[in-house]
């Protein structure tokens, strides 16, 4: 289930009453090679305990226009950035966790894998939160216009219209790269890095360069994260008692259960068993 467009929510049912979420399509075809969708989230927690939102991130970057007020009346601070702000978040390889307190809203652009790097004409390292102007000059000047709009449709029109002005005809090399990266992310039969080279007709070195150039991470991370997404979805939907971890590991391409547990703990900060037990907890109110 989409969270804020960044990826799949951890235990999505627990935030159903906390987050207002929306996903909006790309309308202008000139932007479609670079952008997958637009999204928005809003919350209001004044006088209530903060709610934790955690996302299993995808191999994509996001541009966000954010604003909010903390419970004490001061500005919200997210990942070291004081709101209001226009922010670029590159591919996030670690746990992406936000404590939702006070009141806030974000309108975001979810790029296709490699889309922001191609649009900006530069490589982007992973795990960075940057002022948007460092990547897309002019984004900060757009922030007041976005925040002044009253609804998502109007925000969408403002942001898409601005991005279209930046979108040149895409490089064929980028189009080949994004097609391959998206296939790796969605094709559950691809479970080893060697298979990517076979599918694309590329050497292992060329595959590594392509992923680093456009995504900012290597192909192995993308493969593991895609499998973890599927494993987490199964545990959220069925629970630990209904899922054999050994069978799940074999089905999703891990060598054995211990490798599944290791990757789960390393990337999501918990074990599959605890994740499944937490999924049964009562929804946040």
List the chain domain ranges: 7-164
The residues facing 68 across adjacent strands are 104
Per-residue buried b or exposed e for 118-130, using 16+ beta carbons within 10 Å of the residue's own CB: bbbeeebebebbb
> Going residue by residue through the chain (285 aa), what tens digit of pLDDT does each one get?
234 444 555 555 555 656 788 999 999 999 999 999 999 999 988 888 887 888 889 999 999 999 999 988 999 988 889 999 999 999 999 888 888 889 999 999 999 999 999 999 999 999 999 999 999 999 999 999 999 999 999 999 999 999 999 999 999 999 999 999 999 999 989 999 999 999 999 999 999 999 999 999 999 999 999 999 999 989 887 655 578 899 999 999 999 999 999 999 998 889 998 888 887 764 544
Return phi, psi of residue 161, to 5°.
Answer: -60, -40
pLDDT of residue 1: 27
Q: Tell me which H or E stretch contains 158.
A: helix 152-164
Contacts of 146 (CB under 8 A, 6+ apart): 65, 86, 107, 155, 158, 159
In a 10 Å sphere around its CB, with 0-12 CB exposed, 13-18 middle and 19+ buried, how is residue 261 labelled?
Answer: middle
Residue 55's closest CA among 250, 225, 184? 225
For the whole model, what pTM was predicted? 0.90
The pLDDT score that the predictor gives to residue 242 is: 72
Collapse the DSSP code of 118 into the 3-class scheme (helix H, G, I; strand E, B; otherwise coil) and give the result.
helix
Whether residue 76 contacts residue 68, with contact meaning beta carbons closer than 8 Å, is answered with: yes
Helices 219-238 and 204-214: crossing angle, nearest 10°? 70
pLDDT of residue 100: 85
Q: What pLDDT score does 275 carry?
A: 87
Position 259 scores a pLDDT of: 95
């Amino acid at each position: 289930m989409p969270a804020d467009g960044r990826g799949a929510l951890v235990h999505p049912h627990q935030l159903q009453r906390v987050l207002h979420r929306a996903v909006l399509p790309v309308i202008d075809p000139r932007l479609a090679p670079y952008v997958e969708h637009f999204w928005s989230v809003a919350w209001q927690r004044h006088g209530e305990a903060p709610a934790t939102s955690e996302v299993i991130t995808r191999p994509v970057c996001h541009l966000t226009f954010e604003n909010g007020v903390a419970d004490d009346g001061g500005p919200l601070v997210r990942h070291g950035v004081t709101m209001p702000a226009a922010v670029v978040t590159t591919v996030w390889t670690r746990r992406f966790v936000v404590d939702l307190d006070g009141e806030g809203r974000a309108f975001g652009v979810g790029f296709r894998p490699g889309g922001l790097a191609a649009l900006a004409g530069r490589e982007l390292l992973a795990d960075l939160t940057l002022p948007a102007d460092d990547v897309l000059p002019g984004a900060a000047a757009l922030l007041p216009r976005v925040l002044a709009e009253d609804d998502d449709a109007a925000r969408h029109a403002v942001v898409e219209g601005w991005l279209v002005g930046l979108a040149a005809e895409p490089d064929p090399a980028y189009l080949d790269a994004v097609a391959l990266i998206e296939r790796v992310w969605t094709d559950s039969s691809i479970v080893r890095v060697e298979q990517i080279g076979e599918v694309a007709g590329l050497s292992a070195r060329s595959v590594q360069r392509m992923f680093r150039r456009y995504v900012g991470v290597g192909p192995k991370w993308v493969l593991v994260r895609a499998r973890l997404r599927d494993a987490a979805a199964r545990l959220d939907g069925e629970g630990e008692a209904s899922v054999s971890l050994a069978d799940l590991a074999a089905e999703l391409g891990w060598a054995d259960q211990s490798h599944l547990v290791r990757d789960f703990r390393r990337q999501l900060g918990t074990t599959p068993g605890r994740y499944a037990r937490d999924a049964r907890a009562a929804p946040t109110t």
